[in-house]
């Protein structure tokens, strides 16, 4: 939107567009090869040990012969989008207005096909980002009834997989899943 050949100065063009003058002149620095290598190693370590924070990851990298500070590890973790997985406080407290559903499988003996299905999504790390695999599995036979790989984590893919399984294998007594959307997404179309 900035025309560098126009008679209107660049600073005035930026002001008219509501941009800072510095952002017009800013040229992003490319990521160094060393940082790319460290970020790749951090990603690998995080997949093996998702509970590790910046200090433990720094120690692991130091053991591999890479001299790096905790602050630099923290900066690169933020850039890659890695965060240590741990129990956050107050996650088990009940909140007024949130309905508590009973766990239907407690004490139940599962011994026949189409009694209980499990629906789950897992992520597959790729070079740039992730792919998501959603599958429906029969608990009694351990058979994968339907599966789908997608590049986004939208509920409509889970619904598609479930509908495919319904179409080919009928309806089970219970479909067990650990995640429930708080509000139905735009692509949800269950009868």
All structural domains of the chain with their residue ranges: 29-86, 116-176
Residue 178 has a pLDDT of 63
**Banded model confidence at residue 101, pLDDT cuts 50, 70, 90:** confident
Alpha helical stretches, state H, the chain: 10-17, 21-25, 33-48, 54-63, 70-80, 155-169
Mean pLDDT of the chain: 85
Residue 4 has a pLDDT of 79
**Banded model confidence at residue 191, pLDDT cuts 50, 70, 90:** very low
Residue 182 has a pLDDT of 38
- Look at 51 and 102; give whichever has higher pLDDT: 51
Mean pLDDT of 53-57: 95
| 69-91 per-position pLDDT tens digit | 999 999 999 999 999 988 777 76
Contact 105, 176 (CB under 8 A): yes
Neighbours of 148 (CB within 10 A): 15
Contact 130, 124 (CB under 8 A): yes
| 103-157 per-position pLDDT tens digit | 878 888 999 999 999 999 988 888 877 889 999 999 999 999 999 999 888 889 9
What size, in residues, is the chain? 191
Pairing of strands 116-125, 130-138: antiparallel
């Amino acid at each position: 939107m900035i025309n560098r050949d126009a008679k209107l100065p660049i600073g005035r063009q930026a002001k008219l567009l509501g941009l800072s003058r510095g952002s017009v002149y800013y040229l992003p620095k490319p990521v160094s090869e060393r940082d790319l290598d460290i970020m790749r190693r951090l990603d690998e370590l995080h997949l093996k040990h998702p509970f590790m924070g910046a200090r433990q990851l720094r120690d692991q990298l130091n053991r591999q012969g890479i001299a790096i500070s905790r602050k630099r590890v923290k900066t690169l973790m933020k850039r890659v989008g890695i965060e240590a997985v741990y129990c956050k406080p107050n996650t088990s407290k009940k909140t007024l207005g949130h309905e508590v559903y009973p766990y239907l499988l407690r004490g139940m003996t599962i011994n026949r096909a189409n009694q209980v299905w499990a629906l789950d999504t897992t992520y597959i790390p790729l070079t740039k980002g992730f792919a998501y695999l959603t599958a429906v599995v029969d608990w009694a036979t351990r058979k994968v009834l339907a599966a789908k790989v997608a590049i986004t984590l939208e509920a409509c893919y889970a619904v598609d997989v479930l509908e495919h399984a319904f179409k080919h294998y009928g309806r089970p007594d219970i479909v067990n899943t650990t995640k429930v959307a708080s509000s139905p997404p735009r692509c949800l179309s269950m009868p």
